[in-house]
A and B are shown apart, each in its own frame.
Chain A
Amino acid sequence: MTTLIRPPDKTAPKQQRRRGVTERQRPLWLLTPGGVLMILIVLIPLALALWISLIDLDQYSLRRWIEAPFIGFANYTESFSSGLLHSIWISVSFAVLSTVATVPIGIAAALVTQNAYRGRGLVRAIFLIPYVLPSFVVSTVWRTMLQPDGIVNKVLGDGSTLWLSGPRAYWTLVLVEIWAAWPFIYLMALAGLQSVDHEVHEASAVDGATWWPKLYKVILPYLRGPVLLACLLATLNHINNFTLPFVLFGAPAPDNVNVMPMLVYVTSFQSLRFGLSAAMAVVSLILVAIPLFIYLRAVRLDVHDEGGRR
């Protein structure tokens, strides 16, 4: 399929080879330090994670994992009976809800800072605060404010609402994540707004478009690409977010906020079932692989296709 779409690629390398000073003296050895290191610290551990998911590894066999018994897919079947599906559901719904909620906030923030006015620099800096603050700091602070005797309950005039356990915990997780993550959408939307040409504004002014039709029909289409990309990345980040639930609720987390990273963490470092948790982690990799695959399609990877000399 791909070869059908891109026949010119076949001739391009040949030309390059004929031209090529650069081609003949490719200093590929420069890849060795970074490449060897990546194989050692990334690829080997990843391969090992797959292997661990197929063996029965616990605290007793941990130090002698090479001798641990091979049990095939037993870890995978067991993981489905130990709450994996529940955690997948929590993770996915949490990630999608957070992303969907941050999009209008982020776009609104980009729109209000697009036109220059005095003090805009300050407003832009303020908008970045939640994003700049380390996640563990944000979680610690919200955890403190949401204590039963904390400031939030004091302001609401109710000393009994539980935010960090019970049925509200899930919504606490979503709300804090929204507070912390919307500036990312804002940044991407701002980048999109800056690609709107001057003429577009002039043309809609000449047409006498009022702000809402102009915004809806002219400006927002410009944002579709960057914001969709931002949504993919944001969803990936939400799914992988370990710090927020871990610091907010502690481990083990309440059942209704037991997201995938928490489940894997508790299974491995509290229950010490390393094989089982590796199987869960591999399943969570499959989960992120779907948005990741779409992202990899969308992002521009190949540098030789653009301008410059071949």
Chain B
Amino acid sequence: MSASAEAQRLLPRPLLVVLTALLCAIVLVPVLYIVLASLNSDVGVASGEFWPSSFSLHSYSRIWTTADLSNGILNSLIVCGVTAVASALLGTTTAYVLVRYSFRGRLTILRGLVGLQSIPGTLMLLPVFVLFSSAGNYLGLTVVGTRWGLFVAYLTFALPFSTWVMVTYLRGLPRELEEAARTEGASTLVILRRIIFPLSLPAIVVSGIFAFLLGWNDVLFATVLTRPETHTAAVALSIFGSAQEGGALPVYSQMMAASLVCAAPVVILYLIFQRYLVGGLTAGGVK
């Protein structure tokens, strides 16, 4: 046992210890600074303290009034949540047909799904913005600045991505159950609802979470397509940066506290679904 473990060893022990410590330090020192700074006061952070002279949760209570952070987080949760559900469900249905049936153009669609994930966001945003702003003129609709406008914009990325995640999952799913159900006379919809959806629930959740994160982490679309009432968490956080320019004192400590609050939902999702998400990361290949 220990001999085989010894055989599997890749690095000599001292090197392993040094490398691990170094890598952990590279990651943890900035993270530690964020936490400490968020527990410090704005004055303390601005004067360049690493270790706060006094700890307090003051910054965590003040961030909600400095910027409309709660509204931003709420907007993010709503828009990204709806995006996640819509793209996971539609993506599963589409992926099922793509995986199980062959038809002309299937390979093109698969290529497109992968390719779309690498399209520059700016290229996608431009026409979406032009369509949205002219919708008022041509159709009498207000789209720019609304939550559902942002939702549609996020779908442009989330839908192809969720579909691709489901394609990679469903092609590993054995067909025997479906075929048995089909000989029993089950229709495709019944098979989808009774077999595919329950069996692939973990993957559906993962594809939904990825869609959620695409939206939550977005700055580009949210900056252009929202107005103050519909600001997302990312845009609300950027307001802390500009808050420093007007006032005499930069609100660094609050900025760190708000950063941690904005990161919290993502970190929690990862902690809960770590095993599935890491697998999905390498399969999908996109953050």
- Which residues on A are within 8 Å of B, measured CB to CB? 13, 16, 21-23, 25-28, 30-31, 33-35, 37-38, 41-42, 44-46, 48-49, 52, 57, 62-66, 105, 108-109, 111-116, 123, 125-137, 140-145, 147, 149-151, 153-155, 179, 184, 187-188, 191, 198, 201-202, 204-205, 211, 214-215, 219, 229-230, 233, 236-237, 239-240, 242-243, 246-247, 260-261, 264-265, 268-269, 274, 277-278, 281-282, 284-285, 288, 291-292, 295-296, 299, 301-304, 306, 308-309
Contacts and interface: CB of A to CB of B under 8 A. Distances in A.
Contact of B159 (A41, A144, A184, A268): A41
Given A211-B11, A284-B122, 20 more contacts: A23-B102, A30-B188, A45-B156, A63-B137, A112-B23, A132-B266, A144-B37, A205-B6, A237-B287, A240-B121, A246-B220, A247-B238, A261-B120, A261-B220, A264-B123, A265-B220, A277-B126, A284-B120, A301-B111, A308-B175
B207 interface: no
Nearest to B157: A42
A51 to B, nearest CB: 8
A35 B102 contact: no
Interface stretch (B25-33, B55-63, B197-205): B25-33
A243 B103 CA distance: 39
Interface string B93-117: 1101111111100010011001110
B259 interface: yes
Contacts of A132: 263, 266-267, 270
B90 A140 contact: no
Contact of B101 (A26, A268, A288): A26
B123 A281 contact: yes
B93 to A, nearest CB: 5
Contacts of A308: 174-175
20 contacts: A41-B128, A41-B152, A41-B159, A48-B131, A52-B127, A114-B10, A115-B16, A125-B274, A135-B217, A135-B287, A179-B26, A187-B281, A191-B282, A214-B10, A237-B287, A247-B238, A260-B120, A281-B120, A302-B110, A304-B102
